[in-house]
């Protein structure tokens, strides 16, 4: 069974999913890969993992939280999970490139595959795929829309040429 709920945020409604113990999904309600509700989904308004996620997201958007402390289990291929682990190591307020991520994975020519894995990140914001940018500093490839990527980077005053600091 998949538990789900919605949470309003400054960047739009967020769909949260859980197996009952950990967060398994956090999607923008209108993103490119948002899962469609199925018969085995149950609306759960009082699940403890959702309460923790609400609180931490609200703190993040208020500017008082820089790191999330939530149990998560994103579902994906082994390569995707490796990419998402790299994303989890990008510090708040900084960015990196898809090429740098590929090099970090020991696969320097896999920039496009890294970008595709970023696009399939099932736990947006918490697994900060918004912090990955193009080699030329452009904001590219965000399933939630570039307007949201820009808003999240502005919230973090991220190291991006548009925000006053050089990207890594």
Residue 36: active-site member: no
pLDDT of 164 above 70: no
CATH 3.30.70.1450 fits 2-62, yes or no: no
Phi, psi of 119 (to 5 degrees): -65, -25
Which of 129, 133, 153, 167 is labelled catalytic?
129
Task: Please tell me the number of Cα atoms within 13 Å of 47 on its side-chain side.
Answer: 22
Q: Where in the chain is the domain with CATH 3.30.160.70?
A: 2-62
- Which of 1.20.1260.10, 1.10.3720.10, 1.10.10.10, 3.40.50.300 is the CATH number of 78-163? 1.10.10.10
Q: Write the pLDDT tens digit of every residue in 61-84.
A: 999 999 999 999 999 999 999 999
Per-residue model confidence as pLDDT tens digits over 24-72: 999 999 888 888 889 999 999 999 999 999 999 999 999 999 999 999 9
Per the prediction, the chain carries an average pLDDT of 91
Q: Say if CB 82 and CB 121 are below 8 A apart.
A: no
Contact 71, 123 (CB under 8 A): no
Structure tokens at 19: 């197996």
Alpha helices in the chain, H assignment, sequence order: 48-62, 78-88, 98-104, 111-119, 146-156
Q: Are strands 41-43 and 96-97 parallel, antiparallel or unpaired?
A: unpaired
CATH 1.10.10.10 domain residues, the chain: 78-163
Residue 51 CB contacts under 8 Å (≥ 6 apart), including other chains: none
Run of H or E including 133: strand 132-133
**What gap in Å lies between CA 134 and CA 49, rounded to an integer?**
33
Residue 142, token pair as written in the block: 């965000």
pLDDT for res 143: 87
């Amino acid at each position: 069974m998949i538990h789900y709920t919605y949470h309003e945020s400054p960047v739009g409604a967020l769909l949260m999913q859980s197996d009952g113990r950990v967060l398994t999904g956090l999607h923008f309600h209108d993103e490119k890969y948002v899962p469609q509700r199925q018969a085995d989904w149950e609306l759960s308004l009082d699940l403890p993992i959702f309460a923790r996620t609400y609180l931490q997201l609200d703190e993040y958007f208020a500017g008082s939280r820089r790191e999330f402390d939530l149990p998560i289990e994103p579902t994906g291929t082994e390569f995707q999970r490796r990419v998402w682990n790299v994303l989890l190591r990008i510090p708040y307020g900084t960015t990196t490139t898809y090429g740098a991520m590929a090099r970090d994975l020991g696969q320097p020519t896999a920039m496009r595959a890294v970008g595709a894995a970023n696009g399939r990140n099932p736990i947006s914001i918490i697994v900060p795929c918004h912090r990955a940018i193009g080699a030329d500093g452009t904001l590219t490839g965000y399933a939630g829309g570039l307007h949201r990527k820009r808003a999240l980077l502005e919230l973090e005053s991220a190291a991006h040429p548009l925000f006053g600091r050089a990207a890594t």
